[in-house]
Amino acid sequence: MRRRDFLTTGAAAAASQLRGQAPVARPNILLIVADDLGSTDLSIQGSDLATPHIDSIAQSGVRFTNGYVSCPVCSPTRAGLMTGRYQQRFGHEFNPGPEGQADDTFGLPLTETTLADRLRSLGYSTGLVGKWHLGYKPELHPLKRGFDEFFGFLGGAHPYVNSRLVLRGTEPAGEVGYLTDAFTREAVSFIDRRHRQPFFLYLCYNAVHNPMQPSPSHLARFAGIADERRRNFAGLLSPLDDGVGKVLAKLRERKIEDNTMIFFISDNGGPTRQTTARNDPRRGQKGQVFEGGIRVPFFMQWKAKLPRGRVNDHPVIALDVHPTAVAAAGGTIPASARLDGVNLLPHATGSRTAPPHESLFWRFGPQAAVRKGDWKLVWENDPPRLYNLAADAAESTDLASSQPAKMRELRETYEAWNKTLAEPRWRVRQNPAKRKLN
């Protein structure tokens, strides 16, 4: 059973974290997740492609320039995002297999409490639109994991022009049109129907994930881009940005934008070989624990409470979304829940200037990494490599031999964390003995 007893209400406690201000109406919470979007795929992050609507979330709120996810691939990141815990703690280290294969029975364990569980216990309406990727079996379905409504698909990927696997609740949705536009339509509908009470909307676009299937109308906007792959990528990104704009416009129309907490992230860095997604100048891509695989856009807006246009350079991670949203909603999470994420509200307002985390960690099969301050230790193949990210964003200069003390410090920090984790429950494709930073 899920541990709903982890949650207690406490609006006064949450309010005290917001500069001691008097409580206000609980905010709506909108969590927007893009799929395989690189850290520099947005114009506000340096892209050559315009994304004005997504940019506006950062411009009207806080942009975390060192935003991370807890895994360089989809499902483990989403498991961490939904629970606020490193997913390796409960064995969710890899993507489950496609439905119908031997490992399709696995998903987010029922022992874990989701963000939707917690917010629904606080009286929120909860909805998921888009990609789930946390289990196929009936007991793992979103409607059994805290969501009142679900429109989307259960797996890891889906074509944009064939709605064969798209569900409304537990039933096939039928023909829905171009998928990115359909997810936008359903998100707008959810806000229209639920705006009179606090809601949590988890909006998980599958853009800009493969396959490269831009609609003709979106592709026509980029006829001037000569490179076909880049043109197709722009054709996937454009409806994503348009969709975010329509969702934001609906919040304004319903006069609830100011009191809606909005997060925007990607689930991992870009898979540049397939889609021209950009992580430059960072090294690596989806599936790697170099910066290109785990550094993502990370924006947070709440006009009623957060400053406009603030930039925060401290490292944060998607695990932080869960405790931040619960605190804003007036809930408290006792230490017995063992969350790894932290409440970002004091850091976003500027009332707390210390870094939210002393260290951040990654483990993905034989790959591992730890970041502590500006230093990052990466282990992909022997031997481990040490980088100073402040001086070397591209992770191009290995300092392991010249900084033995720092190397030893980070290795010991990682090993202490690694000892607290479970072994993965499926798809161990490499030797588990190679998990140590030898």
Which one of 53, 71, 92, 133 is the catalytic residue?
A: 133
Q: Any catalytic annotation for residue 71?
A: no
Q: What is the dihedral of CA 224, 226, 227, 233, to 10 degrees?
A: 10
Specify the pairing of strand 199-204 against strand 171-172.
Answer: unpaired
Q: Any catalytic annotation for residue 204?
A: no
Kindly state the helix (H) or strand (E) to which residue 312 belongs, with its residue range.
strand 310-312
Q: Please name the residues in contact with 115: beta carbons below 8 A apart, sequence gap of 6 or more.
A: 31, 81, 82, 83, 84, 146, 200, 202, 321, 322, 325, 326
**Alpha-carbon gap, residue 285 to 181, rounded angstroms:** 27
How far from chain centre, in Å, is Cα 409? 29
Decide: 145 and 134 in contact? Cβ < 8 Å: yes
**Number of helices (H), then strands (E), in the chain:** 12, 18
End-to-end distance of the chain based on CA atoms, in angstroms? Answer: 39
Q: How many CB atoms within 10 Å of residue 389?
A: 18
**Alpha-carbon gap, residue 250 to 263, rounded angstroms:** 16
Where are the extended beta strands (E) located within 344-388? 359-364, 367-372, 375-379, 385-388
Catalytic residue set: 74, 133
